[in-house]
Structures are given as C-alpha cells and as structure tokens.
Structure 1
Amino acid sequence: MTTWNANLYDQKHDFVSKFGGSLVDLLAPQKNERILDVGCGTGDLAHEIATHGAHIQGIDASHDMIIAAQQKYPDITFHTMDATALHITNQFEAVFSNAALHWMKQPDAVIKNIYSALKQGGRFVAEMGGHGNIASIVWALQKSMEDFKLPYIEEDFPWYFPTLEEYQSKLEAAGFTVEMISLYERPTPLQGEDGLRNWLVMFSNNLLQHLSDTEKEQIYSKCEQLLKPMFYQDHQWVADYCRLRFVAIKNNIHTTVISRPFHK
C-alpha cells in the first residue's frame, strides 16, 4: 500500500495540479453536471471543476490526502476510497482523473467501475503516466540498488505505465468509445536543488519500503549522481515524464474510433 505525505505533496509537488489545468479545459465541466474525480489528491482540481458550477465529488485511496482535501475545500464532498472498490451505477455525467490511474495496478477493474459509474453518453477524461514515463528515474533506482547490493523487489514497483494501444484496447473492451487518445513527452521541472530527492521521497516510498533510512539516503544520493549530467540544468531538475491523455465515451452505439495527437 502506497503511503502519502499530503503536506509534502502540496508544498513540493504542486506541478501535478498545475499541469492538470489544461485537462480541466478538455473536460469542459458544465453547470450542474455530476462529476467524479478519481484519485483527487488534495482536491485542487476538484475545486477548479467546482468553480464551473459542476457538482463534483472526489475519491482517493489515501486517507491523508482526503483529510487535506476536506480541510482545504470543505464545500466539496471527498471520500477515502480505492477505485477498485467503486461500485456505483449510472450516476455521473463525467469521470475525471489526473496523474492517478498509473498508481492503480488493476486497470481492468478500475476502468470497468468507471464505466459503470457513468451515465449513458458520459465521458471519461483523464491523464496518467504512460509508456516511457520516468524511465530514467526507474533506471537510476534499479542501478543504485544494484550498486549497493540492495534487493530490488519487482512486486513493489508501484506504477502501471501502459502503451497507448494497450490502454485504448482496455477502454474499448470495457465498452468505451475512445474519442481521443495521445501519448506525449512532457519534461517536468522539479522544484529547487533538492527537486529529485524530494520526488524520490514522495513517490518511491513503496519501492524502497524494505530499506533502512540510511540505505534510502544512499539510494537518493546515488540517483542524483547518476541523473545529474542529463537532468539537472540551470539549478533545475527536470523529470522525463511521458503522459497518456484520453477522452472516452460510454456509448453503446458503435462509432468510428479516431486517434489523434494531443498538442499541449
């Protein structure tokens, strides 16, 4: 189970919500629409969606994230819930998700539950880590653990980064019509001199859970050393993000699937 530091997330990783802003534009929330934010984190994008007049609810598997979201946005309903445990039928005009689906390693169950939660004609608008996401960071983590002769446990790898074709086929198998899907590179600046270290502390906790604090520090330092030549420029770390963005419609009527590139 991945544990989250909601305070660190808000202080050092607000880029997650900032990059999600254009995804809200793609969602184009309408007044009085019922929308579910899956993996809502500390609620910033749910709040933005609410400003359009939509009735938004947020769910996240992290109770700490939900507590932070409730404190920040008391007028919005938030629930601690894993998307694999979402059992709702025909309730929402839209389901929205930003930077969360790649943490859910049972994608078929999640997609099925989201399909069920949508009303007929409802839309699933999301962005997640896709194939190639943080490939250099994953390489550095594996290489560091190998160099220190520390065990790398494959089952503890916390992410699911699918190819465009793989995820499109999963959406279609669940009954969705994929209106738009795109995999694109999005180099992502990390805040400050300790940007990479803060990223590793925040997001690699699951992968390094079997290590001591001293061993973790060794890994963080080694990753910085390995990645600095390529990913640290002008006092700024940049992570090699690849994002998968899509719009899928719950619609039993067969329509032609159009895949087109997304340009930010």
Structure 2
Amino acid sequence: MPHEWDARGYDALPLPHEQWGLRTLSRLALAGGETVLDVGCGTGRDTAALLDRLPHGRVIAVDGSAAMLDQLQARLAGRTDRLEIVHADLTRPLRLPGPAGLVDAVFSVAAFHWIPDHGALFDNLAAVLAPGGQLVFECGGHGNIANVIRAIDNLVDDVPDVWNFADVAGTDALLRAAGFVDTEVTLVADPAVFPDDDLLLRYLETVVLGAHLDRLPLDERAAFTRAVAERLPAPVVDYVRLTVRAVRGG
C-alpha cells in the first residue's frame, strides 16, 4: 500500500520545498491564460502561487494522496473557480478533465522521485501535454539525502527502495524517448540546515522517513527517527535537486 502523508503536519513545517517551488515556477514561461497541470501538488502551496501567475488561466492539481488533496481543498477553498482537483495514481496514464484532455504546461515540485519508472512517467505526461507545451519540474536527484540513506543503512538490513533519485544523462535520454525536445537537465546541491533537534526530528518523521516508519509498530517509530538523526554528522539533510525544463515535440 502506498504511503499516506500526514498532510497537516507537513503543512505546519517550514519546508525547503517552498524555495524549490518558487525557483521552479520562475522557470515556467506563462502569459497568464494557460491551463497548467500541477503534478504531485501536495497541500497546494505551489498551486496557490501558480494560480497567482494565471489570472486568466486554470490549474489542474493532481496527487495520489487523499490527505494532501483534502488539505489543498481547505487551503484553496475560495479559489476553485479556476482549479480542478484530481486524485490519481501518478504511476498510471492520466485522464484529465476537459474536452481535449490536454494542458499547455506541466509543473511539479518534489514529487517525481517517488515514481519508480520515469520512462513511463514522461510518456504519461507527454500524452496530456499539447505540442510545444512546457514540462518544468524539480525533484530529488542522484546523491539526494545521501547522509540520511547512510544512517538508515546503518540501522536496517532490509531497507525498502522507496526513492528514484535519477541522474542527468538517464533523465535526458528518457525525456527525449518520450518526445521531449530542448531539454535542460541539471543537478543542484541544496542542503537543508535545521536550527534545532526538535525541528529536525519532526521534519525527518513527516517528510523524509514516512515510508520507512510505515513498516514499524507505532511504539518504535520515534526511536527509529531519533536514531537516524543521531547518525547524521550535522543537523543537515543534504538535498541534491534534479531540475528540468523541456518542451513537448510536435
């Protein structure tokens, strides 16, 4: 069963995702009237900023987590005239509302590293993106949270493979195979530094370790999170972000 998020706990944290979202949105060229697909929209922080950039357009917000979408609906309750919310399995082909079922752009922040098959993902996105449309996203890339993974490896023998941290060459090849052109793919180191142990523990528990904690009894989860934190050399999660901009070929 896929991991379900603590959406309220997630929303209560100061997240590096906010800066990732702003940077990713700045790379999306918009006139203001487009229809944009927000893939892995989560609780809607980036969806709100996207709506601000689209005064005459609309957003289709898609996520696989019902809890995240409930939080998004609460956040954007007064803005649903230009917003459609879709609960969908992101590993499967998307069926979007509207007569054409196509969008002008696809946008995503901190979601695609949860998708095991990026080739199928890019094929699915190309199928709903109009020719000439933009794909702009960021997610965890090769080397992402390596210090946390080492800490987990020191604690657990049978570590579940829950992330897909792709590299530049492989991502570029899969994008081109799916019909994308003008591809720009980079890896950017962006460590997140936490000012105190309490915030680090809440962050690890809510954002990073959820899929691992799901495998443990409730009374063992806090101890596991603390053990991971104690094995980090510093109160830092060493993020490496895969940033992408590409265009759907004609």
How does the TM-score come out when normalised to structure 1?
Answer: 0.84
Give the deviation of 1:116 after TM superposition.
0.7
Structure 1 residues 50-94: Cα deviation after superposition (integer angstroms, max 9, x where no partner):
112231110000000001101111222212112233135661110
Task: Quote the Cα distance in structure 2 between the aligned partners of 1:121 and 1:14.
Answer: 32
Where does residue 147 of structure 2 map in the other structure? 136
**Partner residue in 2 for 1:125:** 136
Q: Does residue 193 of structure 1 match 2:191?
A: no
Answering whether residue 73 of structure 2 is matched by residue 67 of structure 1, we say no
Higher mean C-alpha displacement, 48-57 vs 122-131: 48-57
Equivalent residue number for residue 85 of structure 2: 78
* Aligned match for 2:237, one of 214, 227, 239: 239
Q: Name segments (4+ residues, structure 1) moved above 6 Å.
A: none
Aligned residues: 238
Aligned to 1:208: 213
TM-score, normalised to structure 2, is: 0.89
Q: Distance in 2 between matches of 1:30 and 1:45?
A: 18
Residue pair 1:60, 1:82 contacting (<8 A) in 2 also: yes
Q: Tell me the residue number matched to 2:181.
A: 177
* Residue type of the alignment partner of 2:95: H
Question: In the alignment, does 2:231 pair up with 1:226?
Answer: yes
Residue 9 of structure 1 is matched in structure 2 by 10
Distance 1:190 1:51 in 2: 30
Change (3 A) 1:116 1:191: farther
Same amino acid, percent of matched pairs:
29
C-alpha distance in 2 between matches for 1:186 and 1:6: 24
**1:80-99 to 2 correspondence within 5 Å?**
80-85=87-92, 86-88=94-96, 91-99=102-110
SS of residue matched to 1:4: coil
Contact 2:5 2:67 in 1 (8 A): yes
CA contact (8 A) 1:157 1:206 kept: no
Distance 1:29 1:46, change over 3 A: farther
Determine the C-alpha separation between the residues in 2 that align with 1:163 and 1:67. Answer: 33
The answer on whether the counterparts of 2:20 and 2:109 sit within 8 Å (CA) in structure 1 is no
| CA distance in structure 2 between the partners assigned to 1:12 and 1:161 by the alignment | 23
Deviations 1:159-202 (A, max 9, x none): 11011111111111111114311111001134643233222211
| Superposed CA offset, 1:139-165 (max 9, x none) | 1011022xxxxx524xx3221101111
Give, in angstroms, the shift of residue 106 of structure 1.
2.2
CA apart distance, 1:42: 0.6
1:90 and 1:247, CA in 2 relative to 1: closer, same or farther beyond 3 A?
A: farther
Aligned partner (choices 152, 158, 179) of residue 152 of structure 1: 158
Are the equivalent residues in 1 in contact too, given 2:95–2:101 (CA < 8 A)?
Answer: no
Q: Provide the rounded CA distance (Å) in 2 between the counterparts of 1:197 and 1:116.
A: 40
Matched residues in 1 for 2:195 and 2:51: separation?
Answer: 28
How far apart are the structure 2 equivalents of 1:191 and 1:117?
A: 42
The answer to whether structure 1 residue 107 and structure 2 residue 137 are counterparts is no
Gaps of 5+ in 2: none
Q: Are the counterparts in 2 of residues 90 and 120 from structure 1 also a CA contact under 8 Å?
A: no
C-alpha displacement at 1:246, in angstroms?
0.8
Amino acid at match of 2:46: L
